[in-house]
Amino acid sequence: MSPFHLSPLTAVLLPQAVALLESAFPPAERRDTEAWVRLCEQPRDGFAPFSVLDEAGTFAGFVTVWLFERYAYVEHLAILPSLRGRSAGSHVLEMLRRQVAPLPILLEVEDPADGEWERRRVEFYRRNGFHLLSIPYLQPPYRKGDAPLPLCLMSTDAAFDAETDAAFLRPLRRFVYGVEEENLA
């Protein structure tokens, strides 16, 4: 049995989640804090913010997920620094996998060639059943005027590597990043 569990993110735990979001993700990799709080307080269809709680019910992290027809997209997963390296993230991914089954999970990561931390993050996801996809990918910017961010995609379904049409990423681009792409098939 896992020493952690997922629970809907409540207003009481939101300040702790905000502090962790801001410390764990640079601005280019997250929406602005006020927009993130609004989304968590009033989730849109398909969006689910969860707290990660330890056995005592204490905040240990958070995960935000978008449920689409063909996959579940993990927008953010963050564990408190004091709990990292103690399998908390692995437990969260396993719980999440069971919760969204039978959908595969898709997420973005930095290129492992960019540095040691990036390589370690990709290896963490590999140990947890994810495959690094070879699909070229630019994360659309969260803010107008920012440039797209070159990232990589990982999925629990290796077959996603064969996806070459842009329509596969349309829900991600449209609902998470607000990109309207009228010319996609």
Residue type, 111: D
Give φ, ψ of 30 to 5 degrees.
-155, 155
The whole-number pLDDT of residue 1 equals 67
Q: Is 131 left (phi over 0), alpha (psi -120 to 50) or beta?
A: beta
Predicted confidence at residue 64, as pLDDT, reads 98
Q: Nearest to residue 149, comparing CAs of 27, 20, 22, 38?
A: 27
CB 5 within 8 A of CB 99: no
- Beta carbons within 10 angstroms of residue 111's beta carbon: 14
Q: What is the pLDDT of residue 165?
A: 61
Nearest-angstrom CA–CA distance, 68 and 121: 24
Give, in order, the Cα–Cα distances in Å from 183 to each of 163, 167, 170. 18, 10, 11
Q: What letter does residue 43 receive in the DSSP assignment?
A: P
Tokens of 126: 């590999």
Q: What is the pLDDT along the chain (185 residues), one digit of tens a residue?
A: 679 999 999 999 999 999 999 999 999 999 999 999 999 999 988 999 999 999 999 999 999 999 999 999 999 999 999 998 888 999 999 999 999 999 999 999 999 999 999 999 999 999 999 999 988 899 999 998 999 999 999 999 988 887 656 678 899 999 999 998 654 33
Note the pLDDT of residue 181.
Answer: 67
CATH of 4-176, one of 3.40.50.720, 3.30.1330.40, 3.30.70.60, 3.40.630.30: 3.40.630.30
CA distance 103 to 3: 24
Could you give phi then psi for residue 160, rounded to 5 degrees? -60, -20
CA distance 27 to 48: 21
Domain positions in the chain: 4-176
pLDDT of amino acid 184: 39
